[in-house]
Structure 1
Amino acid sequence: MISVEEAEKIIEQNTPESKHEILPLKEAFGYTTAEDIYSGYDTPNFSQSSMDGYAIRFEDKDVKLKIAGEMQAGSTEQFHLEKGTACRIFTGAPLPTGADTIVMQEKAFIENGYLTVNDNELEKGLHVRNAGSDAKKGSVAISSGSYLSAAAIGYLAGIGRTEVKIFAAPSVSLILTGNELVQPGENLSFGQVYESNSYQLESVLKQCGIKTIESFWVKDDPSEVEKTLNLAIAKTDIVILVGGVSVGDYDFVIDATKKCGVEQKFHKIRQKPGKPFYFGAKAEKLIFGLPGNPSSALTCFYLYIAPLLSKMMKRKAITEKANATSTSSYEKKTGLTHFLKATYDNGKVTPLHAQESYRLQSFAEANCLMVLPENSKGCKKDELVEIILLK
């Protein structure tokens, strides 16, 4: 059995190199760019108006100007503005050659086809978007390692990009074991429980940016577990087995990993919940074994798998370490690191009721895990403790 810190280090040492993928721009939201993206054009690629109003030469602002034409957004013909004239113009329309300033229509007085400027604060170049003001042709529009938000996707579309190179998401298989499991909606017989792990784990995998998730349910049969594990290793980059990692007569997962040629990196961590956690590898494929109790499974995911996925995809983590003041005392024995379901608010953390590993109700209320180190005997009220925020 190893410590939490040793487990974290071993997983980090066995994290494979990040992979790249080129995606259509509309499918790239939420990923991280894997290269600098250069603008192929000036953006905007022509000087344009940012207001509805009138295009003028600034030097003519103090004289009556004849309205000599009109430019609408989408106009493809150029218009030259002569000295002593103005042009009606709309937002997004190309700026006529010769013009350098836009007068807002609210600041314009029109009479008999002539414009008088009524704006004492008018400045040269006001309300003009100059060509290349957003991005110059050949300049870096978005740097490598940037998160592709909705705004970033829109910006890339605006400079003409149709695809983008990103850090790829690994594919993941979930293998759920247990004869006692029944799908939600079905009738429960004596000794059966509703299967919830696939629901919570698929949800948090999607939160981590994973798009390809294969889920398998396997009865407690050694040959079936082995067969399904071999299939999952062949199909996906990461395999997460849920249940069957303890030492009971019907816990077959560890034997199955050995028969499938998986190299065990560790099995069991000095922590609560989640002590039976397993980690192994076969070539560049990673295999994790989570305890079957839902609270334990989710805790282990947040602690070990979520940071791994963040590192592989160069994404912001869905967890964050911080410190907070405990609102109550909590006692424990030394020997195991405890991760308590808790709520955090304004610098204070409160451990919740129902810390047992099978109970999810308190986890549904929690927004953090409160960390009590292996060698501690707990914490006192108002003591500063480490927490892991769940985003």
Structure 2
Amino acid sequence: MNCGCAEVVTPGLLDLFAARERIIASCRPVQGRERVALGDAEGRVLAEAAEAALDLPGVDNSAMDGYALRVAELGPEGLPVVQRIPAGAGVLHLPEGGCARIFTGAPVPLGADAVVPQEKVRLDAAGRVHVEGKPAGGANIRRRGEESRAGAPLLPAGTRLEAAAIALLASHGIAEVTVHRRVRVALFSTGDELIEPGASRVPGQVFDSNRAMLKALMGQPGVEVLDLGVVLDDPLDLHQALTRARDEADLVVCSGGVSVGEEDHVRPAIERLGGIAFHGVGIKPGKPFALGYLGASLATGIPLIALPGNPVASLVGWQFLALPLLQGRQGMAPSALQRFSVTAGFSRRGPRGRRELLRVVIDWATGEPVARLAGGQGSHMLSAASQAHGYLLVDADTDVEEGHAYGYCPAAQFGR
């Protein structure tokens, strides 16, 4: 039975996008850099810009297999093949009145001003080349330095190194890069009812799914997770956990106990060691989200993210609000939120006073994207979240009407 608690409108909640902006504005990269081999740099963040080490391409080369020639020498009698140039050959000079058999990536011989693809060439009985039509000057030639010039900017500082970026650096012969050191994140869950997966369970106890989920979300080369386990709803235990997190980590992430009930002790424990920048965001699920800090201020202390205890609320809070802070600590510019419109394939009464983020799957059966509910939308229901392709964003006090368009955020943009 629904008691209607989720429909209670809480005054003073911060708008989702305003909260995101405040978090991004607070981002500070961790101090410290290190040199790593390019082969070990996947997922790390450049701490300084990379420059091109050489011209790419290094010489004019052929974009395809074909024949290099002088366009002005083409005629009805054809051209004899006087050279064969494979990739890796040196730069040759093309004799007048002849053409060169050339292969993709091979240096274009001096004097040639076009490459004709082999499929547009006919060889006569004497082996002379005849070309269909007249190629344009420069056709199918990759010019020296057309991709980059030595000394030119290659990748800016703050780039997260993925496969293509690593390949680009390797193509310039760069073997090592300077990256930000790993961000150390202290992680714990709170709750007397929580137990570890695999432990013996009695009625009333709940397996801790949030910590497993958050560790997976943070599982990347540029992050080191300090797992502090489950912390009891006890002021002393919370104080000890937060003190250790402050002293050993660059970012603190906790879940549970951040609401305003009598057994919610996280906020007072944070305030004894630091403070709260804001508490409460106008989203469903995820309202109890808080941004805090351990130390003198948010600008100088250790930032802290307090996520709700309900697992889907915790997931939403991480993806939309906490992830940009982690990216900023890594030295990256936080990713912009990707949003576009999709048609709703269902009707539903909208939330009162809060923006709702419905977990949906996208149906392409009609050729156009249609959002359908992934399952139950309770903030404790991980089954729908595990199947969802993304979120339908429904404004506060707005009902969802089948066939109407609404904002959609794909879950894939949030990474793991």
Q: 1:213 maps to what in 2?
A: 225
Give the conservation status (yes or no) of the 8 Å contact 2:359–2:377: no
User: 1:217 & 1:20 partners in 2: Cα distance?
Assistant: 27
Give the conservation status (yes or no) of the 8 Å contact 2:361–2:374: no
The TM-score normalised by the length of structure 1 is 0.78
Give the conservation status (yes or no) of the 8 Å contact 2:79–2:130: no
User: 1:388 & 1:79 partners in 2: Cα distance?
Assistant: 55
User: 1:340 & 1:99 partners in 2: Cα distance?
Assistant: 61
Counterpart selection for 1:265 from 277, 281, 290: 277
Q: Deviations over 1:86-120 (max 9, x none)?
A: 44433222233333344545525276xx6411213
Do structure 1's residue 72 and structure 2's residue 86 form an aligned pair?
yes
Q: 1:358 maps to what in 2?
A: 380
Q: 1:371 maps to what in 2?
A: 394
Counterpart selection for 1:84 from 97, 112, 120: 97
Do structure 1's residue 253 and structure 2's residue 253 form an aligned pair?
no
Q: CA deviation at 1:7?
A: 4.5
Give the conservation status (yes or no) of the 8 Å contact 1:55–1:87: yes
* Residue correspondence of structure 1 range 1-391 to structure 2 within 5 A: 2-5=12-15, 7-8=19-20, 10-16=22-28, 24-26=37-39, 37-62=50-75, 67-75=81-89, 77-106=90-119, 107-109=121-123, 115-123=127-135, 124-142=137-155, 150-163=163-176, 170-206=183-219, 211-220=223-232, 221-247=234-260, 251-259=264-272, 261-269=273-281, 272-281=284-293, 282=295, 283-309=300-326, 313-317=332-336, 320=339, 327-330=346-349, 334=352, 336-343=353-360, 345=362, 354-366=376-388, 367-373=390-396, 376=397, 379=399, 381=401, 388-391=409-412
Cα pair distance change 1:258/1:96, threshold 3 Å: same
Cα pair distance change 1:145/1:262, threshold 3 Å: closer
Cα pair distance change 1:271/1:52, threshold 3 Å: closer
Amino acid at match of 1:285: I
Give the conservation status (yes or no) of the 8 Å contact 1:147–1:315: no
Give the conservation status (yes or no) of the 8 Å contact 2:28–2:328: no
Consecutive unaligned residues of structure 1, counting only runs of 5 or more, are none
RMSD: 3.9
Cα pair distance change 1:127/1:186, threshold 3 Å: same
Consecutive unaligned residues of structure 2, counting only runs of 5 or more, are 1-10, 363-367
User: 1:48 & 1:350 partners in 2: Cα distance?
Assistant: 51
User: 1:56 & 1:161 partners in 2: Cα distance?
Assistant: 35
Q: How many residues align?
A: 381
Give the conservation status (yes or no) of the 8 Å contact 1:10–1:265: no
User: 1:65 & 1:55 partners in 2: Cα distance?
Assistant: 11
User: 2:202 & 2:306 partners in 1: Cα distance?
Assistant: 27
User: 1:61 & 1:46 partners in 2: Cα distance?
Assistant: 25
User: 1:133 & 1:267 partners in 2: Cα distance?
Assistant: 52
Give the conservation status (yes or no) of the 8 Å contact 2:355–2:394: yes
Indicate the larger mover: 286-295 or 213-222.
213-222
User: 1:263 & 1:192 partners in 2: Cα distance?
Assistant: 31
Q: Deviations over 1:10-65 (max 9, x none)?
A: 53553336879576544555677676654332211112233334444444433565
